[in-house]
Amino acid sequence: MAEIRTAPLVVEFPFTRSLGPVQSAFLTGLRERTVLGVRAGDGRVIVPPAEYDPVTAEEIRDLVEVGSAGTVTTWAWNPAPRRGQPLATPFAWVLVRLDGADTALLHALDVPGPESVHTGLRVRIRWAAERTGAITDIACFTPYDGPGSGAEPAAHSGEFADPVTGITTPARLDYTYAPGRAQSRYLRALAGRKTIGERCPSCRKVYVPPRGACPTCGIATDTQVEVGPRGTVTTYCIVNIKARNLDIEVPYVYAHIALDGAGLALHARIGGISYDEVRMGLRVEPVWTGDGTFPDHYRPTGEPDAPYDSYKELI
């Protein structure tokens, strides 16, 4: 079997989210070492608080202050912490019902081993040294031998100076991208400065780049066909805004190019000609630079323009 092509792929976003009034009060409260809950329609105190009643879905806004100590309602021992988790050493995941609350909050419990944890264990919050108004303002929980107060939680206005109204939560996922058979064949050929399309056995259309299936017939494209290297500009646009990390002077032209023998157009940059001279029907050829594994851009061949009828089905 041919070598499988793979490449690292990192997906990373700093998700920016606005907060509702209840979430805003809760997360601002954490910054101020105050834990707030919200009273639901059935009288239960929900911590962490929700904007809407979990039973009736009605808006709930009555905030109360609960304790920073509580009781473990269930736990799980994590022997191998993973990236992003609250503690870097083995810890217990816990659901904790804080004193005054009727529901439980998920977090980490810092204990030396699983023998130190049991359901019913009393724990309290260890606050993070730097707090910004986020669930991570709770660094983790630690065992606590004090009793619960048993007191009814007191009403709280939810008002703080400089309330947090949004959070930014960075998220990163790492992948190994594998393009599959058809695209691997295409990329391998491209590295050898050949452009390979694949033909549908039913409708005979040649797809470039091939994705492995004919979207009209729903079957595998099974024959490799060398196309180009020359082709025709079928349509184009003029790019006026410089893309980040892209060292190309603007304005430049990005075009759809129907390579000779291809059943549809691929897209690439046009160079070697002023942006205002590019036109539909322009004949172009690929330009390879250095040891590049794909064409850097396409440039005019100097041939006469292709007549419109020769490429109108490929626009």
Partner 1 sequence: MREVAIVAFGQSDHVRDSAQTSEVEMLMPVLHDVLRRTGLRTRDIGFTCSGSSDYLAGRAFSFTMALDGVGAWPPISESHVETDGAWALYEAWVKLLTGEADTALVYAYGKSSPGDLREVLTRQLDPYYLAPLWPDSVALAALQAQALIDAGRTDEAELAAIADRDRTAAAAHPHAQRRGPRPAGEYVVAPLRTGDCPPIGDGAAAVILAAGDTARRLAAAQGRRPAWIRGLDHRIEAHSLGVRDLTDSPSTRLAAERAGVFRRPVDTAELHAPFTSQEVVLRDALALDDTVRINPSGGAQAANPVMATGLIRLGEAADRIQRGDSDRALAHATSGPCLQQNLVAVLEGEA
| Binding residues for partner 1 (CB under 8 A) | 1, 4, 6, 9, 11, 15, 17, 19, 23, 27, 46-48, 50, 54-55, 73-79, 82-86, 93, 95, 97, 103-108, 114, 119, 134-136, 167, 169, 171, 173-183, 211-220
Nearer to partner 1, 44 or 230 (CB): 44
Cβ pair 284, 298 in contact under 8 A: yes
Nearer to partner 1, 121 or 258 (CB): 121
- DSSP per-residue string spanning 10-45: EEEEEEEEE--HHHHHHHHHHHTT-EEEEE-TTSPE
> Closest distance between partner 1 and the C-beta of residue 211, in Å?
6
Nearer to partner 1, 101 or 233 (CB): 101
Q: List all residues 6 or more positions away from 279 whose beta carbon is below 8 Å from its beta carbon.
A: 233, 305
> Closest distance between partner 1 and the C-beta of residue 228, in Å?
22
**Tokens coding 270:** 């046009």
Token pair 């064409």 is at which residue?
Answer: 295
**Tokens coding 125:** 């919050």
63 closest CA partner among 33, 42, 35, 104: 35
Nearer to partner 1, 154 or 177 (CB): 177
> Closest distance between partner 1 and the C-beta of residue 276, in Å?
34
Distance separating alpha carbons of residues 31 and 163, to the nearest angstrom: 10
> Closest distance between partner 1 and the C-beta of residue 146, in Å?
22
Nearer to partner 1, 127 or 275 (CB): 127
40 closest CA partner among 67, 25, 62, 65: 62
Nearer to partner 1, 214 or 262 (CB): 214
> Closest distance between partner 1 and the C-beta of residue 58, in Å?
14
Cβ pair 140, 150 in contact under 8 A: no
Residue 234, classed as helix, strand or coil, is strand
> Closest distance between partner 1 and the C-beta of residue 222, in Å?
11
Nearer to partner 1, 96 or 278 (CB): 96
> Closest distance between partner 1 and the C-beta of residue 260, in Å?
23
- DSSP per-residue string spanning 70-114: EEEEEEEEESS--TTSS-SS-EEEEEEEETT-SS-EEEEE--SSG
End-to-end CA distance of the chain: 37
How far are the Cα atoms of 71, 130, 185, 283, 296 from residue 292, in angstroms, in the given order? 61, 47, 17, 22, 7
Nearer to partner 1, 12 or 249 (CB): 12
> Closest distance between partner 1 and the C-beta of residue 93, in Å?
5
